[in-house]
Amino acid sequence: MEMLKLFFAGIVVGIANVIPGVSGGTMAVILGVYDHLISIISFNIKKIFADWKFWLPLGIGMAAGILLFSKFVNFLFERYPVYTCFFFAGLIVGSLPMIYKRCVNAEQNQKLPSFGVCVCIIAAFALMIFLALFNQESLSEGAAYTELTLSLGIKLLAGGALAAIAMIIPGISGSFLMLVLGIYATIIAAVADLNVMIMLPVAVGVVIGLFSGAGLVRVLMAKIPFHTYGVILGLIAGSILAVVPAKECAALISSGSAPALLVVLVSLVCFAAGFVLAFCQKPETAHPAE
């Protein structure tokens, strides 16, 4: 029964990791598997194998959630790219209040982040704006590559590693980071079509990111949790420019395929739905080090 619960928990975490703006780490905390998961991600092979009854059903569930839900997400990108992007934008905006609460020291009755935390927020925000301005390929342009090249392989490897590190931080979405890096559409299409050549460098990067990043996350959350969440907040807030499909929305309206008012209304509804879904997430209650 416990392994079955872990399997279904893995499905939920896997689905969360597919949706930009929804944190798989947060869902793991909510489902009560986060601390255990972080503790076993190490180079202690004996410890990992001894705990197979935990990670095996959880891992199978995560793989099932990713494989099954990626097809649905890929369908939405192909048929309704503008509305899908607005839904994701709502998810991202809705997650900001939860992350902001982690940037202030409630035990000391802080109402605003400290100066150092504000610097982290601004620096991370500026970095995301820079990436958005110099990465013109948006998700809704359908830039999904199916042929593996050396440059794409390196990008997928690095992106997979960074996304894996992001996935184990409660509050930040690894798939969102893939979105900003311009590899999300490619990976979603590869998973949906079982394109092994594209998935391989991503898988290698994810393994590298998990093992190299878990220890770093434990240290950062233990030593400087407010500054760490400040960086996370800046990254998420700065991502909005990269996600909102303003150019595609304008093209859809000008094409006359849909009335302008209808496009705006449906986009707002999708944004609101994403916002509510993320805003109503139960915030995590513990750091990895606790």
The structural domains of the chain, with segments of one domain joined by +, span 79-279
Share of the chain above pLDDT 70, in %: 83
pTM beyond 0.75, yes or no: no
Looking from the CA of 127 toward its CB, the CA atoms found within 13 Å total 15
Q: Residue 259 above 50 pLDDT?
A: yes
Arithmetic mean of pLDDT over the chain = 79
Nearest to 28 by CA among 213, 107, 158, 39: 39
Query: Residues 75-105: pLDDT tens digits?
Result: 887 788 788 888 878 877 887 887 888 888 8
Question: What's the CA gap between 287 and 290, in Å, rounded?
Answer: 5
pLDDT at position 287 is: 42
Query: Residues 206-251: pLDDT tens digits?
Result: 889 888 877 777 788 778 989 988 887 887 787 777 667 666 666 7
**Number of CB atoms found within 10 A of residue 290's CB:** 9
Query: Residues 131-154: pLDDT tens digits?
Result: 666 554 444 444 678 888 898 899
For the segment 260-264, the average pLDDT, to the nearest whole number, is: 79
